[in-house]
Structure 1
């Protein structure tokens, strides 16, 4: 830590980056509701964050939410909370560039944060749209261009179509996958690239792949770090 601080102080550009990140971190942390014990940490001064909170909405953060840049990306991060909605992050969590989180009126979106892995979070350019309830457990690993939702977002035969989504602890969702309404992905599972999960309960320790996704391997284990 001391060595890193000395390196920053010896380089005017790094000093500028450090100051800007610190100021932005303090500013965006003010969006967190009182009673939380967390904060937002900006690591790239060029990433834009837009947090839109409606009346009665809550942003509860118990841990460090690190705003990260994936391979230099600077697409804006957008967090939109509807009336009386709640976004709760219960531990250290990483949100990458281009991530969009939308929580509708009276809805609840939950992330468990980091536990046994070196990190938990969403890499980049993924979208989570919550109509009623989406819960995601600890040690979540989400790649880029992932879409997660609990609703079709349109009426069919004059009826709304939605069902809660639950993703367990220690789940890895690979790039360009979709998790749709009614899905339950149990603990310690992997969703392979380009897969579609929809309206089904999947057992723990499973490798899921395909459209629609099926269990292609059981009793798996995985780790975030190589």
Structure 2
């Protein structure tokens, strides 16, 4: 008889351990495989969950932390990697409080232990976004034999706005207060906060920007008072 997946994996909703799918908050689905074990999923109370799927089919000893997010449209899927018989092991995915999702988004955790995907608080995500912590396959330098795509994780800071169909890849770092334009591909670290990143691959197109959830009623006729930093 196969052991109950809720015994092999710890699922928490607030301070209460989830012991069956019926204990999950509305809008959350967790998928398991026979190999799924040692994983820990933490779901914050007070979130607005809608079509949130955590797929542990290729996860072993991974940690998933989802803060008080708000999924308004589409949904969020978090999954992990299986490659040549190896599963994501000891990795993590973290989403901070007050993030808003306005469309379908897929987050893929890396394979490598202690490497993960970290998303800060108060971020805004449009539709069709892919955040990929693993390339799935090795890319090698023929002359030196060096691995060209080692997994180092993804770090998305606080108050970041990511536009439609953007792709965020392994090695990406998006600083606090930054904006990623639609259809951009971010594949390297950026360091200056409040930057506008655009292009494929993305480059810093402008510095000193900020964004708000609300579009101004006067269409920008009155300048906004610069925020305190």
- Whether TM-score is above 0.5 comes out as yes
Aligned to 1:11: none
Of 102, 108, 112, the residue aligned with 2:79 is 102
Aligned to 1:188: 177
- Once the two structures are superposed, what CA deviation does each residue of 1:65-106 show, in whole Å capped at 9, x if it has no partner? 3123xxxxxxx643113111111123x202343432114331
Aligned to 1:177: 166
Aligned to 1:62: 44
Of 145, 155, 163, the residue aligned with 2:152 is 163
Distance in 2 (CA, whole Å) between partners of 1:93 and 1:189 is 19
Q: Retained in 2: the 8 A contact 1:125–1:145?
A: yes
Aligned-residue CA RMSD (Å): 2.6
Aligned to 1:84: 61
Q: Which runs of 5+ in 2 are unaligned?
A: 1-9, 18-22, 81-87, 216-229
Distance in 2 (CA, whole Å) between partners of 1:156 and 1:219 is 36
Cα pair distance change 1:35/1:123, threshold 3 Å:
closer
Distance in 1 (CA, whole Å) between partners of 2:16 and 2:179 is 31
SS in 2 for 1:67: coil
Distance in 1 (CA, whole Å) between partners of 2:14 and 2:75 is 28
Of 186, 208, 213, the residue aligned with 1:219 is 208
SS in 2 for 1:126: strand
Aligned to 1:33: 12
- Once the two structures are superposed, what CA deviation does each residue of 1:181-219 show, in whole Å capped at 9, x if it has no partner? 111110000001010100222410011111111111111
How many correspondences in the alignment?
178
Aligned to 1:122: 101
After TM superposition, list the pairs within 5 Å mapping 1:2-21 onto structure 2: none
Q: TM-score, normalised by structure 2?
A: 0.69
Q: CA deviation at 1:41?
A: 5.1
Q: Retained in 2: the 8 A contact 1:58–1:87?
A: yes
Cα pair distance change 1:58/1:200, threshold 3 Å:
same
Distance in 1 (CA, whole Å) between partners of 2:177 and 2:13 is 33
Distance in 2 (CA, whole Å) between partners of 1:99 and 1:153 is 20
Q: Which runs of 5+ in 1 are unaligned?
A: 1-30, 69-75, 115-119
- Comparing 172-181 and 96-105, the one that deviates more: 96-105
Q: CA deviation at 1:40?
A: 6.4
Greater share of helix residues, 1 or 2?
1
Distance in 1 (CA, whole Å) between partners of 2:104 and 2:194 is 26
Distance in 1 (CA, whole Å) between partners of 2:186 and 2:52 is 25
Q: Retained in 2: the 8 A contact 1:63–1:93?
A: no
- Once the two structures are superposed, what CA deviation does each residue of 1:158-183 show, in whole Å capped at 9, x if it has no partner? 95732211011000000110111111
